[in-house]
Amino acid sequence: MPLNRYKDGACASRLAAFLEERIALLKPCDSVGVEHETFLCMPDKTPATEELSQAVFRSLADDRFRLLDSDEPGFISGVEADDHGTSPTRIAYDHPPHLLEISSAPHHSLNDLHNNLGEAWQLLLAAAAHHGACVESIPLVSVHSTDSRLLTSRKKWTNLRYYRRKLLAAGNVQFENYAAAIAATQIHVALPATQYPAVIEKLYRLEPQILSVTAAWAGMNPSQLRQRWEGYATVFASSPLVGFPHLGDWSIEGWLTALCRTPIAGGPCDAWAASNLDQTGRFPHDSVESFWSAVRDLQIIRPRLSGTVEFRADPAMPTLDAVMKVAALRLGLCEAILNGYEPRMSFREAHDEWWRIARGGLAGHDTTDVVLLAMNALKGRAHQEEHYLML
């Protein structure tokens, strides 16, 4: 991976060196995992209170799950499976008090993933029911993001609202808490690190064909899809990486350069809040690691330092079967690209088409072929995983 092209710009050079070191430590693996967000609600399907969600977490603590503490005394951030794995299964807050995330351990087959995710899902349903709550697996919560029931006083999230407010035009506060009102089903697939640039670039070129497919699986119409992406596009209008990134193509070098122009999250005490590396000329706390933790890389296909690629464009699915369908689609398309499939759109054509659909436009092409492409690629894995796309 040719990262030595950075001869100017101290921040970009340090980012490249850090990434190169991390890549050298990665071990080849073939795995898939899920992060599924869902809303915990009161019996009337309004957002849960913190008291209720904390009680649900306590009910989940047993021989398998242990409670996860937080930086704030007495506040439970979630539960984690006590299986000593490097990425154990978790049920935790994505945004308190009402938005939770079930994250699976990584698995080498969709069948094992289905069993692991299904067990965690059923445990959450039972714990919620025990306290008279319900779990609403939907892409958009039933109230507006400005509703006081979606606000939390917890520091991590008040800092996020602060930094979004700084990015927004004066008085435009309706989107500062947008992330509390939407839920996603995110898939992680391990890819060979040496093939990242070429594979990710081709995966992006498939995204316009996928956007309306997974929206339909989630029961969303074009207007709701527009609502889902409006907050991202409004808050991060100045970010080159939001959604389908505003780049000529996708490369490691282009990604790192764009990260240097991406606003960094921070609170009132952080001088860098809502600024970027090109503006500040230095990392938060003079630490590359602190930057990786603070920068909000909001592109829909996100490389992770663990060696996986995270697919972030899909809305929350309503059922376990639908979640597995998305996981099968994403894994199958990765296999197809690795096997040499060449998407028909260029990166720039795909960028324009994706944003047109994300803003409420109708898909201008047949979407069934992308599902067939994934099914055929999964057949080649010989794990009988293609049946998830028939659910």
Higher pLDDT, 99 or 368: 99
> Would the pLDDT of 18 be above 90?
no
> Would the pLDDT of 224 be above 90?
yes
Mean pLDDT of 321-346: 96
Q: pLDDT tens digits, residue range 160-208?
A: 999 999 999 766 788 999 999 999 999 999 987 667 788 999 999 999 9
Identify the sign of the CA torsion 154, 155, 157, 162: positive
- Torsion, Cα of 336, 342, 344, 349 (10° steps): 100
Cα gap 33→215, rounded to integer Å: 20
Q: pLDDT tens digits, residue range 120-156?
A: 999 999 999 999 999 999 999 999 999 999 999 999 9
Model confidence at 27, pLDDT cuts 50, 70, 90, reads: low
Q: pLDDT tens digits, residue range 351-361?
A: 999 999 999 99
| pLDDT recorded at residue 19 | 81
> Would the pLDDT of 33 be above 60?
yes
Beta-sheet strands, E only, within 48-146: 65-68, 78-81, 90-95, 99-103, 134-136
Model confidence at 8, pLDDT cuts 50, 70, 90, reads: very low
Cα gap 257→255, rounded to integer Å: 5
**CATH number of the 33-136 domain:** 3.30.310
| pLDDT recorded at residue 170 | 66
Q: pLDDT tens digits, residue range 258-315?
A: 999 999 999 999 999 999 999 999 999 999 999 999 999 999 999 888 778 999 999 9
> Would the pLDDT of 2 be above 70?
no
Q: pLDDT tens digits, residue range 77-92?
A: 999 997 655 678 999 9
Q: pLDDT tens digits, residue range 37-73?
A: 999 999 999 999 999 999 999 999 987 899 998 888 9
Cα gap 308→18, rounded to integer Å: 17
| pLDDT recorded at residue 182 | 97
> Would the pLDDT of 216 be above 70?
yes
Task: Assess contact for 3 and 15: CB atoms under 8 A.
Answer: no
Measured CA angle at 246 (ends 240, 247), to 5 deg? 105
